[in-house]
């Protein structure tokens, strides 16, 4: 008599289970902890990516202005409405509190640390991640100027005739936009809560 072969999936001679030739090992399912870890990593990647983008654009535009213009020199873009001018700001945002570059340099370092710490505790909200990334990039962009030059390079000058807005730069724009987004979030918390909820559900 021939030897009987164990049927697929039935116990063999060793007492184990013989798998059929076509069976495959199922793909491992990611655990909730692994998904949360991946979500945190993605959040930090976006946060850092936004900040780095702001810093790079800010520093490149400032380098172009300082290499092409002398301090105080201006170039009209849209007549007198919009001009590019090489300004040296020793104060804060939009030229406020002049001649305090060193103090603002130290404050900027502290602000950068606070932004990073707040983002670490802010939860999985894409809205806040983007907003804080803009804020961090703007703070770092101006901090680099203060620590390296002793002043911040401003170059966007807008206004009509003698009525001019404060001269500003890319970093200032990012900071202003982030502040606006934070104000909107304070008025409509559902924007942040809803985004965080959707992100959390996607990670489950």
Question: Is 202's pLDDT higher than 60?
Answer: no
Q: Give the pLDDT confidence score for residue 84 in this predicted structure.
A: 96
Q: What is the pLDDT of residue 168?
A: 94
Q: Report the side by side order of strands in the sheet with 74-78.
A: 74-78, 82-89, 152-160, 163-164
Query: Averaging pLDDT over each range in 12-21, 38-47, 61-70, which range is the top one?
Result: 61-70
pTM (2 d.p.): 0.73
CA max distance for the chain: 109
Average pLDDT across the chain, whole number: 81
Catalytically active residues, by annotation? 154, 172
Nearest Cα residue to 139 out of 113, 165, 120 = 113
pLDDT of the residue at 82: 94
Kindly report which listed range (30-34, 39-43, 155-159) carries the lowest average pLDDT score.
Answer: 30-34
């Amino acid at each position: 008599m021939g030897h009987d072969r164990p049927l697929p999936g039935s116990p063999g001679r060793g007492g184990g289970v013989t798998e059929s030739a076509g069976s495959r090992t199922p793909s491992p399912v990611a655990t909730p902890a692994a998904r949360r870890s991946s979500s945190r990593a993605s959040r930090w990647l976006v946060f850092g990516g936004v900040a780095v983008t702001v810093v790079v654009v800010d520093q490149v535009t400032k380098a172009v202005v300082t290499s092409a213009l002398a301090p105080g020199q201006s170039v009209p873009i849209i007549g007198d409405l919009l001009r590019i001018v090489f300004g040296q700001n020793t104060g804060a945002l939009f030229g406020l509190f002049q001649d305090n570059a060193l103090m603002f340099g130290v404050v900027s370092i502290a602000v950068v640390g606070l932004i990073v710490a707040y983002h670490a505790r802010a939860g999985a909200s894409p809205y806040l991640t983007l907003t804080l990334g803009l804020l961090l990039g703007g703070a770092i962009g101006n901090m680099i100027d203060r620590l390296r030059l002793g002043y911040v390079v401003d170059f966007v000058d807008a206004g009509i005739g003698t009525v001019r807005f404060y001269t500003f730069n890319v970093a200032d724009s990012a900071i202003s936009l982030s502040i606006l987004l934070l104000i909107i979030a304070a008025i409509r918390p559902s924007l942040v809560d809803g985004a965080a909820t959707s992100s959390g559900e996607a990670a489950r």
